[in-house]
Amino acid sequence: TILSFGMALRHSFNAPGSADLLEQAVRRVVASGVRTPDIAAAGIVSVSTIQMTDAVLAALDALSPSHPE
């Protein structure tokens, strides 16, 4: 999952700032109501994993267009 990569950034690549940024982007997307079927409540419209990834990437861009570690 995307958050697993966040863990890799933090613990394997020693990039805690990038991990924080990724986690913040995921929080923003989920807070906006975007859900994949595995985390959507019954009766809630869900998006594909590609659409969720696109939403997280857009949130990352909005948070920091260029974020050097």
DSSP element (H, E) containing 54 = helix 49-63
Residue 51: the pLDDT is 97
Give this prediction's pTM.
0.85
Mean pLDDT over each residue of the chain, to the nearest integer: 92
Between CA 12 and CA 1, with CA 34 as vertex, the angle to 5 degrees is 25
Share of the chain above pLDDT 70, in %: 93
Contacts of 2 (CB under 8 A, 6+ apart): 22, 26, 52, 53, 56
